[in-house]
Chains A and B, each alone.
Chain A
Amino acid sequence: MIATRALTKRYGHLLVVDQVDLDVREGDRYGFLGPNGSGKTTVVRMLLGLVYATSGEIAVLGQPVPGRVAEVLPAIGSLVEGPAAYGHLSGRANLALIDAAGRSGGRRTRRQRIADTLDRVGLGGIDNRPVKRYSLGMRQRLGLAAALLRSPRLLILDEPTNGLDPQGIREVRDLLVELNQAGTTVFLSSHQLAEVEQLCTRVGIVDQGRLVEQDDLAALRKLTGRSIIHTPDADRARQLLDGRVEQADTGSGRLLVADPDTAALNSRLVAAGIRVSGITAERRTLEDVVLSVTGSGADRFGAAREPTEPAHPAQAGHPAQAGHPAQAGLPAQAGHPAQAGDDIVEQ
């Protein structure tokens, strides 16, 4: 659906996107993950023909972009850097205008399609108030409605859950899964690990303009070879498994054991009369993956790192862009290893 080759964008001396090779396949829910300022939005804009690449090639739905972008755009619904609407008009009037703007809108079905789409995004009962009186969440839903208006084959969404409350985030997630199961490919760009981890089947991680990892989420979240055990008898379990316990938190009764065989561990513990409230094989979280591929520690800020990696001028002038994912408030949202297997007993 989307394929780029050595996609590069330079603004003057600033290298914003550096040799990106995206590969989004039909039916994917693709998560394009990276911190703010890592070049995600610029890539999205290039995919839509809004920004022209400095070098490299783009093919969307099999057509070259920007060469034949007018042919592919009708099959794409997009949300780029937040929703936008004419503030003095109602949501319905805005959708009608945007629908009438392009070709092949279908005037006769317009009213019905607008009503259906508003229903889908949870604005079905909206009154005729002007959009400037909408809350941030309502605007976000309206933007999503505009993207869905023509039943696109490909959705390119930049931070679609921005400004939504937890309920709204869940609704949008369910909606995207539903659309995806009906055959829509979803390309979602986000800086939120949790959002990508919960929704996507395939992940591309971008860091300072480079695509540093691209794989199926299941493949990225491989087993670590350790097991997590929860037990009220932590001390006894520790004695029994002595030597293989890498980490023990006797207060909460959580042990990290260097043994992937949860079934054997479980039977051994139970045989010794140790109560087991939970045991699971540990998997890498997306956060672990992100931290490992985006390199050094969480304290790097542009200038300090510049001498060691002069090859990336993007850092020089933009310290804010060099922010590590971990600094963008991610750990709180990302699934911590401790949560991954809580209360799940594997045989």
Chain B
Amino acid sequence: MIRVELAKLVRRPRSWVSIALLCGLPVLVAVFVAVTHLAPPPGQGPALLSAVLSSGSLYPAAALAIVLPIFLPVAVAVVAGDSIAGEATAGTLRYLLARPVGRTRLLAAKLVTLVVYTLAAVVLVAGTAYLTGILLFGSQPVAATPGGLTTSNIAATSLSGTGLSPLDIALRTLGAVSFIGVSMLGVGAIALFLSTITDSALGAALGALAALITSEVLVTLNAAAAVNPYLPTRYWLAWIDFFRDPIVWRNIERGYAVQGAYVLVFLAAAWAHFATKDITS
């Protein structure tokens, strides 16, 4: 069943269009920045973008920062929201279940597909951004660190100003990719749960995005400080800590814990609801 679901994902034009758009935006930004050499000053604009001019190998991280706030959650929510509700709307859900495909199996296959899509999206964004970065900004720039440290194996500078080796950057980027992947799974789990409730794929996707926007609003609200640590988007930007030296693990760990909790709770809810639901679509 997992193979069937993956085949459906791969053969669906939408999967590729959405990933192409995700990869395209950072490329567009990179071209503008490279042509004008006008990067936003540190602390403004997308994270890390200011450092990119000095080193293209940091661009994957900057690219993830560009797509993270809207594009990536939208893409994940659309795919996850479509997973059950889309089959229900098309009428294929009843034929899959009558084939028979067990409801738990179907949900598991949808989840695996969602994980594959999310990881593929994040990895492809990082990959294309790496190529773009190397191509447009080069990998061996003059380091702009306070100490003026410039040796051949120091490719970039961390946010804290110390030099980072290429291997170091690769590992840190990998950490960021996994952290963002898990964060997106949190979104996906919410959308998947909503997808078992409604027969409208659009409704499920928008519902998940509404939850995220609510969370974003509450995060900035001092009055909501009591619930602040439990909001799904609270630690979304914690992956930037991978690029500090030394890595600040505190928020990264909390981020993983919060996202893990959201994924578990909403998957359990999705399963409980879907397994006992009357399929009337």
Decide if B120 is an interface residue (CB 8 Å cutoff): no
Chain B, range 1-24, C-beta contacts under 8 Å to A? 1, 3-4, 7-8, 11-13
> Which residue on A lies nearest to B278, using beta carbons?
A51
B96 beta carbon closer than 8 Å to chain A: yes
Residue of A nearest to B1 (CB): A101
Interchain nearest-CB distance for A94 vs B (Å) = 9
Q: Which of B81-107 touch A at CB < 8 Å? A: 90-92, 94-102
Partner of B98, one of A50, A85, A97: A50
Of A66-74, A232-240, A299-307, the one contacting chain B is A66-74
Size category of the B interface is 20 to 34
A82–B91 CB distance below 8 A: yes
Contacts of A86 in B (CB 8 A): 8, 90, 92
| Given known contacts A45-B280, A51-B280, A80 and B100 CB-to-CB distance under 8 angstroms | no
> Is the CB–CB distance between B100 and A74 below 8 Å?
yes
Asked whether A76 is an interface residue with its Cβ less than 8 Å from the other chain, the reply is yes
A154–B102 Cα distance when bound, in Å, is 20
Asked if A146 is at the interface (CB within 8 A of a chain B CB), the reply is yes
Bound Cα distance A101, B91 (Å)? 15
Max chain A Cβ within 10 angstroms of own Cβ: one of B3, B7, B96, B99? B99
A78 at the interface (CB under 8 A from B): yes
Check B278 against A102 for contact (C-beta < 8 Å).
no
B152 contacts the other chain (CB 8 A): no
In the bound complex, how far is the Cα of B9 from the Cα of A88, in angstroms? 12
Q: How far is the CA of A101 from the CA of B6 in the complex (A)?
A: 11
- Give the contacting residue for A50; candidates B7, B12, B97; CB below 8 A: B97
Residue of B nearest to A48 (CB): B98
Partner of B94, one of A50, A74, A88: A50
Q: How far is the CA of A86 from the CA of B96 in the complex (A)?
A: 12
A230 to chain B, nearest CB (A): 48
Q: Is B44 an interface residue (CB 8 A)?
A: no
Bin chain A's interface residue count: 20 to 34
Contacts of A89 in B (CB 8 A): 11
Judged by a CB distance under 8 angstroms, whether A253 is at the interface is no
Q: For residue A72, which residue of chain B has the nearest CB?
A: B100
Tell me whether A81 is interfacial, beta carbon within 8 Å. Answer: yes
* Most chain B CB inside 10 Å of its own CB: which residue of A73, A78, A84, A97: A84
- In the assembled complex, the CB of A39 is this many whole angstroms from the nearest CB of chain B, namely 13
Which residues of chain B have C-beta atoms less than 8 A from A49's C-beta? 97-98, 100
The yes or no answer to A329 lying at the interface (CB within 8 A) is no
Once A50-B97, A70-B100, A102-B101 are accepted as A-B contacts, the answer to whether A84 and B4 lie under 8 Å apart by CB is no
Other A-B pairs beyond A50-B97, A97-B7, A101-B96, 7, CB < 8 Å: A52-B278, A78-B95, A80-B95, A85-B92, A88-B13, A98-B92, A98-B95
The 0/1 profile, CB within 8 Å of A marked 1, for residues 205-248 of chain B is 00000000000000000000000000000000000000000000
In the complex, the chain B residue whose C-beta lies closest to that of A46 is B278
| Contacts A50-B278, A51-B280, A88-B13; A101 near B99 (Cβ below 8 A) | yes
> Is A62 located at the chain interface by the 8 A CB criterion?
no
Option from A73, A80, A83, A84 in Cβ contact (under 8 Å) with B99:
A73
The dominant DSSP class at the B interface is: loop
Q: Is B36 an interface residue (CB 8 A)?
A: no
Check A98–B99 contact: CB distance below 8 A. yes
Give me the 10 closest cross-chain CB pairs, A-B, nearest first: A84-B91, A102-B99, A73-B100, A50-B279, A51-B278, A84-B92, A48-B98, A100-B4, A78-B98, A101-B99
Residues of chain A from 34 to 79 with CB closer than 8 A to chain B in the complex: 45, 48-52, 69-70, 73-74, 76, 78
A97 contacts which of B8, B13, B90, B94 (Cβ < 8 Å)?
B8
In the complex the two chains form, what is the Cα distance from A76 to B275 in whole Å?
A: 21
Q: For the complex, what is the distance from the CA of A213 to the CA of B92, rounded to whole Å?
A: 33
CB <8 Å contact, A80 and B98:
yes
Any B CB within 8 A of the CB of A87: yes
A100 to B99, CA, bound (A): 10
Complex-state Cα separation, A74 to B98, whole angstroms: 8
Instruction: For B8, list chain A residues within 8 Å (CB).
Output: 86, 97
When C-beta atoms are compared, the residue in chain A nearest to B90 turns out to be A84
Q: Identify B279's interface contact among A45, A70, A84, CB under 8 A.
A: A45
A80 cross-chain contacts in B, Cβ below 8 A = 94-95, 98
Instruction: Give Cα A146 to B278, complex, Å.
Output: 22
The docked-state distance in angstroms from the alpha carbon of A84 to that of B95 is 8
A88 to B100, CA, bound (A): 23
CB distance from B92 to the nearest CB of A (A): 5
Which residues of the partner chain A approach B3 to less than 8 Å between Cβ atoms? 100
Given A80-B94, A81-B91, A84-B92, residue A97 in contact with residue B279 (CB < 8 A): no
> A165 to B276, alpha carbons, bound, how many Å?
39
